[in-house]
């Protein structure tokens, strides 16, 4: 049974949800599900903006048919070729053989790689090109690396609607309410939006900044992303979140302690450190076990907070495996500009502190506090003073920021 949502008198959401997929991109846990958004514009010419993942292909095609209500489809605009939005393109192209496919040059190349259909149907557009469909004039904005190189945004100049591809998307299935102003976005969705951005697009901050600058010149009244709620109110607030994430600027003044512990002794020291930082007057200190919490959540928390501590056991003469993996994730996502502290453990040859520092040095503008607390096997009472001193240094750095 079709399930569509009306956005304006002539614009409709025709997407769907997947609550069964365990790992988005076969990497990121999505216990809250995911939506694949697609839109139909019913003007003198009809336009489908992006398609959908194969998981919802049947529902998606039913939705498109329901909205078209017997009319032919004139255009299929492909803003992004990643299969979570293009896997149904072949099916739609076959169902509507007269539809012209409008996309970027790079996306056309990718179409040929993914599919086998008549490329003469594909019209290439570039930045600044327009398509008039009757009442609406659509213009195209290049958005390379947000999140793939072929990405374009489509801007409806008539109604001020920005079809923003993956940008402004979030993890999380839609639950009946399509609009961000209909849900408790800040308390129930923001963490998912941050985790989505930082993991999927986080590496491409400079490219996102460029696109945000271009978007600043548009009179945006509505944002229709490819995942998650549609924005029609308080758009500036969400763009401001994006500006923080794109520039890797902390959203919150606070401390997050990441712990890699084998038998619990490093965890013990980290908890003592967390208590001592809290005693110094720092609120909302958070502690995460890197072996328990998936790295995608850890990455999002690192982007959120101003000050970080890495407390790790030594393992195979290296950084404890899951901590090393997390640090690699930070580096690969071009994480930068934080004040951090290090705590290390090792029963016979503590190495993790030195190696963590070396990995942090590969990231831009990281300030590593001089003190490193080192202990062997288990923290002893004699080392409490060292931990308290590190806590004071971290708290002082937070207060001075």
Instruction: Let me know: does 47 contact 68? Beta carbons within 8 Å.
Output: no
At closest approach, how far in Å is the CB of 203 from ligand FEO? 12
Tell me the residue number closest to ligand FEO, measured at CB.
82
| Smallest distance from ligand FEO to CB 5, Å | 19
Closer to ligand FEO by CB, 148 or 288: give it: 148
C-beta of 7 vs 226, nearer to ligand FEO = 226
Return the C-alpha torsion angle 48, 54, 56, 60, nearest 10: 20
CB of 147 to ligand FEO, least distance (A): 4
For residue 363, how many other CB atoms are within 10 A of its CB? 18
- The burial class, CB within 10 Å (0-12 / 13-18 / 19+), for 78 is buried
Given the complex with ligand FEO, which of 74 and 82 has the nearer CB atom?
82
Two tokens, residue 299: 């990455």
Closest CB to ligand FEO among residues 85, 307 = 85
CB of 125 to ligand FEO, least distance (A): 19
For residue 102, count CB atoms less than 10 angstroms from its CB and return exposed for 0-12, middle for 13-18, buried for 19 or more: buried
- CA gap 335, 348 in Å, rounded: 32
Tell me how many degrees the CA angle 20-85-146 measures, rounded to the nearest 5. 115
Quote the least distance from Cβ 385 to ligand FEO, whole Å: 50
- Report in angstroms how near the CB of residue 104 gets to ligand FEO at its nearest: 14
Q: Which residues contact 400 (CB under 8 A, 6 or more apart)?
A: none
Of the two residues 50 and 156, which places its CB atom closer to ligand FEO in the complex?
50
- Enumerate binding residues for ligand FEO (CB under 6 A): 80, 82, 84-85, 147-148, 166, 226-227
At how many degrees (to 10) do helices 265-279 and 384-400 cross?
Answer: 50
In three-state secondary structure terms, 367 is strand
Cβ 160 vs Cβ 221: under 8 Å: yes
Nearest residue (CB) to ligand FEO, 204 versus 315? 204
Shortest distance (Å) from residue 108 CB to ligand FEO: 17
CB of 14 to ligand FEO, least distance (A): 16
Minimum CB distance to ligand FEO smaller for 88 or for 339? 88
Nearest approach, Cβ of residue 114 and ligand FEO (Å): 13
Structure tokens at 183: 């849900």
Nearer to ligand FEO, 167 or 191 (CB): 167
Q: How many CA atoms, within 13 angstroms, populate the side-chain half-sphere of residue 231?
A: 22
* Residue 251 neighbours by CB under 8 Å, 6+ apart: 194, 241, 244, 303, 304, 305
Closer by beta carbon to ligand FEO, 164 or else 261 = 164
Q: Which residue has the tokens 């790295």?
A: 295
Of 167 and 305, CB closest to ligand FEO: 167
Residues in the chain: 401
How far is Cα 8 from Cα 73, in angstroms, rounded to an integer? Answer: 19
Quote the least distance from Cβ 40 to ligand FEO, whole Å: 19
User: What is the torsional sign of CA 295, 297, 303, 309?
Assistant: negative
């Amino acid at each position: 049974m079709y399930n569509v949502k009306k956005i304006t008198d002539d614009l409709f959401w025709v997407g769907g949800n997947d609550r069964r997929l365990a790992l988005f991109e076969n990497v990121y846990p999505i216990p809250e599900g995911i939506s694949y958004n697609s839109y139909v514009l019913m003007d003198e010419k009809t336009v489908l903006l992006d398609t959908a993942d194969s998981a919802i292909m049947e529902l998606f095609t039913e939705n498109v048919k329901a909205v078209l209500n017997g009319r032919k489809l004139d255009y299929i605009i492909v803003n992004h070729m990643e299969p979570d939005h293009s896997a149904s393109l072949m099916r739609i192209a076959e169902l509507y053989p007269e539809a012209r496919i409008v996309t970027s040059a790079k996306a056309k190349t990718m179409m040929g790689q993914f599919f086998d259909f008549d490329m003469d149907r594909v019209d290439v557009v570039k930045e600044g090109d327009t398509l008039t469909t009757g009442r609406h004039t659509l213009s195209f904005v290049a958005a390379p690396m947000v999140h793939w190189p072929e990405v374009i945004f489509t801007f409806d100049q008539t109604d001020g609607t920005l079809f923003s591809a993956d940008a402004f998307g979030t993890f999380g299935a839609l639950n009946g309410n399509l609009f961000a102003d209909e849900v408790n976005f800040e308390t129930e969705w923001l963490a998912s939006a941050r985790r989505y951005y930082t993991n999927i697009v986080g590496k491409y901050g400079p490219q996102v900044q460029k696109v945000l600058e271009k978007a600043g010149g548009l009179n945006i009244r509505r944002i229709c992303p490819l995942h998650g709620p549609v924005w029609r109110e308080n758009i500036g607030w969400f763009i401001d979140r994006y500006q923080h994430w794109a520039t890797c600027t902390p959203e919150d003044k606070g401390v997050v302690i990441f712990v890699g512990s084998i038998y619990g002794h490093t965890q013990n020291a980290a908890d003592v450190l967390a208590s001592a930082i809290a005693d110094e007057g720092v609120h909302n200190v958070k502690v995460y076990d890197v072996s328990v919490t998936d790295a995608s959540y850890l990455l999002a928390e690192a982007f959120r907070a101003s000050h970080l501590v890495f407390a790790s056991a030594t393992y195979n003469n290296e950084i404890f495996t899951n901590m090393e993996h997390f640090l690699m994730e930070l580096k690969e996502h071009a994480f930068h500009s934080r004040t951090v502290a290090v705590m290390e453990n090792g029963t016979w040859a503590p190495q993790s502190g030195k190696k963590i520092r070396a990995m942090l040095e590969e990231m831009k503008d990281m300030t590593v506090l001089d003190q490193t607390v080192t202990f062997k096997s288990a923290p002893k009472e004699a080392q409490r003073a060292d931990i308290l001193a590190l806590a004071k240094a971290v708290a002082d750095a937070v207060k001075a920021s």
